[in-house]
Amino acid sequence: MMIWLRNVMLAVMAAVAWAAPVTADSSIQLGPRPLYLLQALPEGVLKQKLQSCANGPFYRTDFSIAHRGAPLMFPEHSQQSYQAAISMGAGIAECDVTFTSDKQLVCRHAQCDLHQTTDILLRPELAAKCRQPFQAASGDSAASAECCSSDISLAEFSSLCARMDGVNERAQSVQQYLQGTPAWRTSLYNQCAKPMTHRESIQLFAAAGIKMTPELKQPEVAMPYQGNYTQQHYAQQLVNEYKAAGVAPSQVYLQSFNYQDILYWLAQEPEFGRQAVWLDGRYEQPGFDAMLPDSWRPSMQQLKQDGLNIIAPPLWLLVTEQDGAIVPSAYAKAARQAGLNIIAWSLERSRPLAEGADWYYQSLPTLANSDAAVLQLLDVLARDVGVIGVFSDWPATTTFYASCMQPPQQNVPP
């Protein structure tokens, strides 16, 4: 216990050293949501501190990571979503990366999600190319479709309109099928948002002066694709586009759930690989127990020995309930003890918490009972777990918290 406590104290001291103050950014616009969440907090030290910062100043900070842009209200991975995140002070933005039929990289959360995140089904000439055409609901069978970026060319992809994610599984028509955005999001900004290529995202983020965290998505086609495009080609192409754009490795946090991608970057592109982020999906392994480190394969120590420096689990893996409070989990302590930095995902991707804790809050079944838990969890992640950043679907909240509670981070070393 004393060793772990010493490591935490050293990490906190290091975080302060990394976080050099900068001039407040008057261009940052946070809107009403952070104050709405603040009002939901019970009276106490956290609320008093955050209330003192209600009027700023606000800073752009690497702690605030835009998850797919700002998809709580804007179509994910669209130019409009990214611009909203930039305006909210995100210091890092994410382009989930997949590829088209002509092997060009584009920003999509999954290779085969175009049917629910774009208007492809409303374009007959492109809908005809989908892996599975639209099928209406019938009896116990839900309405369905499947359209992949690999079904169409880059030019065809760029002609689409991005739209809010979600489908109506009881639909009898394409128009009904596309009316499935959850009620707690909005379709207010759903008017033909522009989908982004990976290169376009690099240009946009570089122009805004923010860092980049692309996620190499798992292909949903057989690899090697078209007989010659291997997983290694795919991973290398991602890095090559940053090199071609003149982006320094220090500005890029490569991500993947596929640990072999991480090992490839560590071996072949060590300057980029040293701050690659492994998205930890070990919770899906048979026998995984969040409380038992012996059930985690590979172990935290093995990950660090392999050269990994940053691990990124879902929110619920990092915290648990104890005596009526949110506290760091065994997972969080083990990761820090092994010398790993932590990034968490994804804040504000949940329905209103008064409706009950969802997947992201599953380790807080009694405490995540109102939207106040958003800021309470964020505070524990920052102060007690010691995360270096948090993905959010609404970066204004993480920007607000970081601007108030700690100096803005300028460089987060691996």
pLDDT, tens digit, 9 for 90 and up, residues 262-281: 999 999 999 999 999 999 99
3-state secondary structure of 354: helix
177 assigned to some structural domain: yes
Residue 2 pLDDT greater than 70, yes or no: no
Q: pLDDT tens digits, residue range 314-366?
A: 999 999 999 999 999 999 999 999 999 999 999 999 999 999 999 999 999 99
| 334 and 379 housed in the same domain | yes
Give ∠ CA 362-363-368 in degrees, rounded to 5. 70
Residue 412 pLDDT greater than 90, yes or no: no
What is the pLDDT at residue 23? 66
| 187 and 199 housed in the same domain | no
CATH number of the structural domain spanning residue 263: 3.20.20.190
**CA atoms within 13 A of residue 112's CA, in its CB half-sphere:** 13
Question: Could you give the CA distance from residue 13 to residue 411 in angstroms, rounded to a whole number?
Answer: 14
* pLDDT-based confidence at residue 414 (cuts at 50, 70, 90): low
| 337 and 227 housed in the same domain | yes
* pLDDT-based confidence at residue 16 (cuts at 50, 70, 90): very low
Residue 185 pLDDT greater than 90, yes or no: yes
Query: What's the rounded mean pLDDT across residues 189-201?
Result: 96
Asked if residue 293 has a cis previous peptide bond (ω within 30° of 0), the answer is no
Range of the domain at 8: 2-108+195-405
CB atoms within 10 A of CB 7: 16
What is the pLDDT at residue 288? 95
- Record the pTM: 0.93
Q: pLDDT tens digits, residue range 138-177?
A: 999 999 999 999 999 999 999 999 999 999 999 999 999 9
* Domains contained in the chain, number: 2
What is the pLDDT at residue 15? 42
| 159 and 295 housed in the same domain | no
Q: Percentages helix, strand, coil for the chain, rounded to the nearest 5?
A: 40, 15, 45
Question: Could you give the CA distance from residue 258 to residue 188 in angstroms, rounded to a whole number?
Answer: 35
Residue 12 pLDDT greater than 60, yes or no: no
Looking at the DSSP bridge assignments, the partners of residue 102 are none
| 81 and 114 housed in the same domain | no
Q: What percent of the chain has pLDDT over 90?
A: 91
260 assigned to some structural domain: yes
- Which residue type is seen at 90? A
What is the pLDDT at residue 3? 41
Q: pLDDT tens digits, residue range 24-49?
A: 899 999 999 999 999 999 999 999 99
| 95 and 175 housed in the same domain | no
267 assigned to some structural domain: yes
| 279 and 305 housed in the same domain | yes
413 assigned to some structural domain: no
What is the pLDDT at residue 309? 98
304 assigned to some structural domain: yes
DSSP code at position 383: I
| 128 and 43 housed in the same domain | no
What is the pLDDT at residue 22? 53
